[in-house]
Amino acid sequence: MGSGHDVNLIDNISMCSHDLLDPEEFRRQGYMMIDFIADYYRDIEKYPVRSQVEPGYLSKRLPESAPYNSEPIETILQDVQNEIIPGLSHWQSPTHFAYFPCTISTAGFLGEMLSTGFNVVGFSWVSSPAATELESIVMNWLGKMLELPKCFLFSSDKNINEGSGGGVLQGTTCEAILCTLTAARDQMLNKIGRENIGKLVVYASDQTHCALQKAAQIAGINPKNIRAITTSKATEFGLSPNSLLLTILADLESGLIPLFLCATVGTTPSTAVDPIGPLCEVAKRYDIWVHVDAAYAGSACICPEFRHFINGVEDADSFSLNAHKWFFTTLDCCCLWVKDPNALVKALSTNPEYLKNKATESKQVIDYKDWQIALSRRFRSMKLWLVLRSYGVANLRNFIRSHVKMAKQFEGLIAKDKRFEIVVPRTFAMVCFRLKLEMIFDQKLHENDGINRIEDQTNELNQILLESINATGQVYMTHAMIGGMYIIRFPVGATLTEERHVHSTWKLVQEHANTILLGALDGNIIDHEMED
Amino acid sequence: MGSGHDVNLIDNISMCSHDLLDPEEFRRQGYMMIDFIADYYRDIEKYPVRSQVEPGYLSKRLPESAPYNSEPIETILQDVQNEIIPGLSHWQSPTHFAYFPCTISTAGFLGEMLSTGFNVVGFSWVSSPAATELESIVMNWLGKMLELPKCFLFSSDKNINEGSGGGVLQGTTCEAILCTLTAARDQMLNKIGRENIGKLVVYASDQTHCALQKAAQIAGINPKNIRAITTSKATEFGLSPNSLLLTILADLESGLIPLFLCATVGTTPSTAVDPIGPLCEVAKRYDIWVHVDAAYAGSACICPEFRHFINGVEDADSFSLNAHKWFFTTLDCCCLWVKDPNALVKALSTNPEYLKNKATESKQVIDYKDWQIALSRRFRSMKLWLVLRSYGVANLRNFIRSHVKMAKQFEGLIAKDKRFEIVVPRTFAMVCFRLKLEMIFDQKLHENDGINRIEDQTNELNQILLESINATGQVYMTHAMIGGMYIIRFPVGATLTEERHVHSTWKLVQEHANTILLGALDGNIIDHEMED
């Protein structure tokens, strides 16, 4: 940079600094944005659920550099409508059944607005006390709704630094796992010496979310020591305590050191449930930290009829669920409870001079910066608080139940069409299904090609079916592989989904199945009498 | 959980599921919330800047459990006003000069609303293409504004997976450092063997943000191998390349392996600048990954007159700044550019079956999940895009300049009062100052107690002064220690700050200095003629 720039030190001014946040202009543009988003929800069914754009579409539509001068909000909103919306896959669409839901609600949105509006940074208690205190309170509220054992909650009458458990809001499950894994790792290394980091072993089933693998890699666990223990249909793809035990014993035999187990309640591929109690029973014999990842299904456990899926959690060390998945708060909001916050604090605390303050020194307060990866943190409890208060426990349970009910209806529809199978029993609000080739082809083909060939063809057919459905833009579903089977996942949970969407989706699935079976298989299909 | 619950399977219903997001109710409540926040900004000077509550205040005011039934938004907003606002330290107050600013703007707020409203999860390109593509475009826009070398930007004509650099939005600097450090670590361990993880060394100055220490701890670097190299007033608390070299040589001598250098442009204690070019020159001799943390001061580098502070960045491997600090986007928004995204991807990618898709397989798209810790990610580029477009380059530069100008004014006011000193030269928009005891006490006290005693007393006096000022609730400033000196930090940057706030703050500082010097020092003060 030469001194030639000096002559241009003040660029042409068209605004003064307070124009950044003039309350009345904020109000005017804020209304406009509320209208824009309300209209978006009203019209959301007009848009293809899965975006139809090609890679690189947006760079062809936007300039290569930022504008030198300001542009009016009206122009920008027009561009959002014309250039951005076509490139979105609409997660809030009532026929978005891809991945897991990422639910929104009016209350969650309003809470996020408040959090953004205050824009406080609650790293320490003193930096904005309400941000810390509301989070602790709300985590206790939700913990009680889940009937979490008291050892996971803040105790009201005890010094928070002495033996009480507690909850914290993280961004995502990966962060929650990374924090607890780091705590477990340092606790262990302090006992056995840092030089043994290469011997530490992390356990999970082969159905466990990739967040565990990533967290373990980041935390410096040797990738060779991340065990993805095979599951099977026999246990409905839940982790068998006996398999865990055998794996641990083999590792001990090899001189390795068991460290951490991630048990899942509601796996991503098929919402399988690892049996927490029996797994803890094994893990605790070897001093293994047990984290329970209930990212998706944890929300259902506020309903008494689902609570039993987390039985045994009292023996785990930490428990998390993603409120942004199926609890109507917006992304991101991962709720983590730990029995021993001090283990987190020991691994994650820093105490620079510029953050020292009397409240921290008094040890009467929580500084959540020491419970997470980052220093800065958003006021996430606000949205969770608004969701809990705006809807109340009774309604929240019923919203969850209405999704389960719709998933049951979809299950019922599938059961009537013998060309399809439900691959694993539905546990929560997700149905895993596929076209079943054996039912379709005649026995001859079966004999000629053998079971493996049939499996491959079944997988391929379902892949074609899914792509064909998604290409319509009318619904969006995604797949998983379990036990070698390509399955189509159908999780109900998007806030706007109603029964009619479940029915229209099933109709679409059937139509595409008809076309594909007729076309691709060239007449080899059994003449199947559809009952629906 | 007994079966007794079965009779209550459906809780009393007062709402149905679509009430969670009825567009018209969303509109009504949305307007209400816009009004609430607009009024908050209008009235913000009414509130004590630093909250005056005592630890535990909120649990005395809120119930112990979540409500069973829904509560109206009007009641909740009343509680926000009465129970939450008193517990906030108001970061958006024009007299909030604590820590670093965490700026907001109307455009940043609106962008966050859009991001929340769409609530898409852009982990992979296919999961919502616009989220990925807008992020890449906006990171190039901002990179060009900073005149980052091309090797940090996406090239328009090349396959993004072949040799192009690029930018990504992280939540915070700690995440950015953790990701780059993990990439550097794995790149090195792949060469030298994983068993050497305990030998890796991380370098920074003693002024570096605690984010580095935390990231290194999480990544499994031996805490003994985190070097905080001493700085001094002689280099204005910037890291000396020679000190770095000596430290590296000593480590090599001990059989350790240099890995990572975090150089800072605008340190937290005093906005010191590490000389990037000369530091890279040293580091690159030893194959050390250099990350440049310009969390605070990076924003200023969009102004040609500040750009020289990041000269030499072309030799670094990664560069980050926090747009949520001094760039008018809301928390959180950390901009990270890397020369070699593949290093990140190798360390952080996971490829589970349930996320496989054709776009990823084509290698024509970015899946940002592989550039960060978490899988899920918010649509953060939306707010950065709105800020860039709503204000334009010219205004953004001038907003920054207006803050620098106000800091200069404050500096000028201090300079006229000989009881105070400016501890280090002001570089950006932060002034570091303190009461200077030598100027106040007579020579006798000085001789009796010696230099150290004077330093201690000066530190204590400034601590008392700062606490006394903050206790008024009229302004909020925080401190740092540099070179053994307790200093008061005065960063200008809050969006609503105007010149009158700078003047009133200085008046308050003087008033409290008067009282403290008169009262606490019991007549030992030189009769100082204030010039202001």
d(CA B176, CA B173): 5
Task: Judge whether residue A326 has pLDDT over 80.
Answer: yes
Q: How sure is the predictor about A453, in pLDDT bands with cuts at 50, 70 and 90? A: confident
pLDDT computed for residue B519 by the predictor: 73
Of the candidates A374, A280, A268, the one whose C-alpha atom is nearest the C-alpha of residue A318 is: A280
- Residue A3: what pLDDT? 38
| B189–A contact, CB cutoff 8 A | no
Q: Are B366 and B164 in contact (CB under 8 A)?
A: no
Q: Chain A interface, mutation test: which of B120, B309, B314, most A Cβ atoms within 10 Å?
A: B120
Tell me: pLDDT of A382 over 80: yes
Beta strand A476-482 with A485-491 is: antiparallel
Residues B494, B509: Cα–Cα separation, whole Å: 19
Interface pTM (ipTM) of the complex? 0.94
Specify whether the CB–CB gap between B167 and B236 falls below 8 A.
Answer: no
Q: Which of residues 210-249 of B touch A (CB under 8 A)?
A: 210-211, 213-214, 217-222
Q: What are the counts of helices (DSSP H) followed by strands (DSSP E) for chain B?
A: 14, 12
Is residue A329 located within the same domain as residue A461?
A: no
How far is B529 from B532, CA to CA, in rounded Å?
Answer: 9
Residue B154: count other Cβ atoms within 10 Å of its Cβ.
20
- Summarize pLDDT for A7-54 with one digit per residue, the tens: 445 665 556 555 899 999 999 999 999 999 999 999 999 999 999 999
What pLDDT is stored for residue A519 in this prediction?
Answer: 73
Q: Which residue has the higher pLDDT, A286 or B18?
A: A286
Q: Tell me the percentage of chain A whose pLDDT exceeds 70.
A: 90
State how far residue A32 is from chain B, nearest Cα, in angstroms: 9
Helix locations, B349-442, DSSP H? 358-362, 381-415
On whether both B297 and B154 belong to a single domain, the answer is yes
Task: Find residue B168's DSSP bridge partners.
Answer: B336
3-state DSSP call for residue B286? coil
Judge whether B18 lies within some domain.
no
Min Cα separation B531/chain A (Å): 30
Q: Given CB atoms, is B386 within the 8 Å cutoff of chain A?
A: yes
Dihedral, CA atoms, B307, B313, B319, B324, nearest 10 degrees? -10
Q: Which of B54, B133, B195 to mutate to test the interface with A (most CBs of A within 10 A)?
A: B133
Q: pLDDT tens across A483-510, in order?
A: 999 999 999 999 999 999 999 999 999 9
Q: Is A522 exposed, middle or buried (0-12, 13-18, 19+ CB in 10 A)?
A: exposed
With a cut of 70, say whether residue A443 has pLDDT above it.
no
Question: Which chain B residue's Cα is nearest to A478?
Answer: B354
- For residue A129, the surrounding DSSP H or E stretch is helix A129-145
Bridge partner residues of B205 (DSSP): B229
pLDDT value at residue B453: 80
Given this model, what pLDDT does residue B162 score?
Answer: 56
CB count within 10 Å of CB A244 equals 26
**What CA dihedral angle connects B456, B459, B462 and B464, to 10 degrees?**
-60
CA distance B326 to B234: 28
pLDDT band at A455 (very low <50, low <70, confident <90, very high): confident
Nearest alpha carbon to residue B289 among B361, B185, B437, B146: B185
Q: Are A385 and A432 in the same domain?
A: no
Domain-terminating residue out of A391, A425, A455 = A391
Instruction: Please identify among residues 94-123 of chain B the ones whose CB lies closer than 8 Å to any CB of chain A.
Output: 98-99, 102-107, 109-110, 112-114, 116-121
Q: Do A128 and B496 touch (CB under 8 A)?
A: no
Q: Is A411 helix (H, G, I), strand (E, B) or coil?
A: helix
Our separate counts of H helices and E strands in chain A read 15, 12
Pick from A165, A126, A183: which is nearest to A373 by CA? A183
Higher-pLDDT residue of A458, A158: A458
Q: Are B86 and B58 in contact (CB under 8 A)?
A: no
Helix (H/G/I), strand (E/B), else coil: B367:
coil
pLDDT of A478 higher than 80: yes
Whether residue A168 lies inside any domain: the answer is: yes
> Would you list the DSSP string of B465-491?
HHHHHHHTSS-EEEEEEETTEEEEEEE
Q: CB–CB of B398 and A147 under 8 A?
A: no
To the nearest whole number, what is the mean pLDDT of chain A?
92
Q: What is the pLDDT of residue A5?
A: 42
Cα(A491)–Cα(A267) distance, integer angstroms = 12
Mean pLDDT of chain B: 92
pLDDT tens, residue by residue, B310-358: 999 999 999 999 999 999 999 999 999 999 999 999 999 998 888 999 9
pLDDT at A450: 62
Of B10, B362, B388, the CB nearest to A398: B10
Q: Indicate which CATH number applies to the domain containing A165.
A: 3.40.640.10
Residue B55 with chain A: CB contacts under 8 Å: 125, 129, 359, 362, 364-365
CB burial of A356-385 (b: ≥16 within 10 Å; e: otherwise) equals ebebbeeeebbbbbbbbbbbbbbbbbbbbb
pLDDT computed for residue B60 by the predictor:
95
Whole domain around residue A489: which residue ranges? 403-522
Give the tokens for residue A183: 């705590």
- Rounded CA-CA distance A104/A391 in Å is 13
Q: For residue A137, is pLDDT > 60?
A: yes
A489 lies in a domain? yes
Segment holding B520, helix H or strand E:
helix B499-520
B291 near A CB under 8 A? no
Please indicate whether, in this complex, the C-beta atoms of A37 and B30 are within 8 angstroms of each other.
yes
- B129 with B243, same domain: the answer is yes
How much is the pLDDT for B455?
87
**Within an 8 Å CB–CB cutoff, is residue B175 touching chain A?**
yes
Asked, for residue B242, whether it belongs to a domain, the answer is yes
Domain match, B281 and B160 both = yes
Paired residues of B110 in beta bridges? none
Query: Which tens digits make up the pLDDT trace of B172-188?
Result: 999 999 999 999 999 99
| Cα–Cα distance measured from residue B328 to residue A46, given in angstroms and rounded to the nearest whole number | 34
Residue B114 lies in a domain: no
Residues A398, B508: Cα–Cα separation, whole Å: 56
Q: Do both B129 and B154 map to the same domain?
A: yes
Please say whether the beta carbons of B401 and A10 come within 8 A. yes
- Per-residue pLDDT tens digits for A336-355: 999 999 999 999 999 888 89
Are A410 and A379 in the same domain?
Answer: no
Q: How many CA atoms lie within 13 A of A345 on its CB side?
A: 20
Which one-letter amino acid corresponds to residue A452?
N
The DSSP H or E segment spanning B241 is: helix B241-253
Number of separate domains in chain A:
2
Of B101, B106, B98, B105, whose CA–CA distance to B51 is shortest?
Answer: B98
Q: Is residue B60 part of a domain?
A: no
- Hey, what are B511's tokens? 């008033």
Q: How far is CA A426 from CA A391, A505, B472, in A?
A: 27, 18, 60
Reading the block at residue A186, the tokens are 């340092």
Same domain assignment for residues A210 and A334: yes
More confident residue, A82 or B18: A82
Residue B443 contacts A, CB cutoff 8 Å: no
pLDDT band at B530 (very low <50, low <70, confident <90, very high): very low
- Tell whether A384 lies on the interface with B, counting CB pairs under 8 A: no
E-assigned strands of A91-239? 96-97, 166-170, 200-205, 226-229
Question: Residue A262: phi, psi to the nearest 5?
Answer: -105, 110
Does B255 lie at the interface with A, CB-CB under 8 angstroms? Answer: no
Condensed to tens digits (0 to 9), the pLDDT of residues B478-507 reads: 999 999 999 999 999 999 999 999 999 999
Residues 477-516 of chain A with CB under 8 A from chain B are 478-481, 489, 495-498
For residue B246, the one-letter residue type is L
Residue A157 predicted with pLDDT over 80: no
Domain boundary among the residues B337, B369, B391 is at B391
Residues of chain A with C-beta less than 8 angstroms from the C-beta of B25: 106
The answer to whether the beta carbons of residues A328 and B32 sit under 8 Å apart is no
Question: Taking CB atoms and an 8 Å limit, are B390 and A331 in contact across chains?
Answer: no
Q: Are B268 and B173 in contact (CB under 8 A)?
A: no
Please say whether the beta carbons of B192 and B233 come within 8 A. Answer: no
The CATH number of the domain where B498 resides is what?
A: 3.90.1150.10
Radius of gyration (C-alpha) of chain B in whole angstroms: 26
Query: Do A343 and A275 fall within a single domain?
Result: yes
Mean pLDDT, range B186-197, rounded to an integer: 97
Instruction: Say if the Cβ atoms of B113 and A37 lie within 8 Å.
Output: yes
Does one domain contain both A338 and A373?
Answer: yes
Residue of chain A with shortest Cα separation from B56: A133
Q: Which of A400-414, A449-463, B59-73, B501-515 has the lowest mean pLDDT?
A: A449-463
pLDDT for B10 equals 63
| Cβ–Cβ under 8 Å, residues A126 and A373 | no
| Residue where a domain stops, chosen among B391, B420, B435 | B391
Residue B444 pLDDT > 50, yes or no? no
How far apart CA B402 and CA A519 sit, in angstroms, is 68
Q: Are residues B415 and B306 in the same domain?
A: no
- Residues A465 and A364 occupy one common structural domain: no
Omega before residue A332 within 30° of 0, cis: yes
CB contact under 8 A, A104 and B119: yes
- Sort out which chain A residues have CB atoms less than 8 A from B85's CB and list them: 130
Split at pLDDT 50, 70, 90, the class of B157 is: low
Of A118, A375, A480, the CB nearest to B354: A480
Model confidence pLDDT, tens digit, residues B213-255: 999 999 999 999 999 999 999 999 999 999 999 999 999 999 9
Q: Tell me if A396 is assigned to some domain.
A: no
Q: By the CB < 8 Å criterion, does B202 face chain A? A: no
Q: Look at residue A270 and tell me if it is in a domain.
A: yes
Quickly state the pLDDT bin for B78 (edges 50, 70, 90): very high
Cross-chain Cβ contact A214/B40 below 8 Å: no
